[in-house]
Amino acid sequence: MRVDGRARDELRPVEIVPHYIEYPEGSVLIKTGATWVVCNVT
């Protein structure tokens, strides 16, 4: 058991936010735990 209550084989919840940035052709924000990743394509 981990500090946050997850089992050893359990992943953190993942949140995907499409169209995160207004101006690129495509963008996405992916969040899992305290890690945030922004990807965009122009």
> Domain for residue 2, yes or no?
no
Kindly state the DSSP code that residue 25 receives in the 8-state scheme.
Answer: S
Q: Looking at residues 13-28, what average pLDDT do you find?
A: 96
Kindly state the DSSP code that residue 18 receives in the 8-state scheme.
Answer: E
> Domain for residue 5, yes or no?
no
Among the listed residues 29, 33, 28, the one whose alpha carbon sits nearest the alpha carbon of residue 41: 28
Q: What is the pLDDT of residues 1-12, one digit of tens each?
A: 788 888 999 999
Residue ranges making up the domain that contains 42: 13-42
> Domain for residue 28, yes or no?
yes
pLDDT band at 28 (very low <50, low <70, confident <90, very high): very high
> Domain for residue 22, yes or no?
yes
- The CA-to-CA distance between both ends of the chain, in Å, stands at 43
> Domain for residue 25, yes or no?
yes
Q: Is the pLDDT of residue 13 over 90?
A: yes
> Domain for residue 35, yes or no?
yes
Number of domains the chain contains = 1
Report the predicted TM-score, pTM, of the whole model to 2 decimal places.
Answer: 0.76
> Domain for residue 37, yes or no?
yes
Q: Is the pLDDT of residue 26 over 80?
A: yes
Burial annotation 16-35 (CB, 10 A radius, 16+ → b, else e): eeeebeeeeeebbbeeeeee
**CA–CA distance, 30 with 10 (Å, rounded to integer):** 18
> Domain for residue 3, yes or no?
no
